[in-house]
Amino acid sequence: MRINEIAQEIDKLDVTEKLLLVKDIWDGIAQSNVKLPMSELQKEELDRRYHDYKSGKLKLYNWKDVHQDLRGK
């Protein structure tokens, strides 16, 4: 089946079925353990953030506090 045929079949599904399909696709990707390529720019950004974290330059927040702040807005 070609991609456009698959898309047409997906269009026929209701929202609940589409959400279940997306979940199944994500679960399949997670189980495959495939390593996705990372660009040099992404590597540099991760290295920069890790360096900032290790050197204490990065301000960290408790996720519960952030969640509570967002709920209050």
Structural domain boundaries, residue 58: 40-72
Q: How many structural domains comprise the chain?
A: 2
Calculate mean pLDDT across residues 43-66: 94
pLDDT on residue 1: 75
pLDDT per residue over 29-47, tens digit each?
Answer: 888 888 888 999 999 999 9
The alpha carbon dihedral of 12, 18, 20, 25 has a sign of positive
Same domain? For 23 and 44 the reply is no
Same domain? For 67 and 46 the reply is yes
Same domain? For 45 and 23 the reply is no
Given a cut of 90, whether residue 23 has pLDDT beyond it is yes
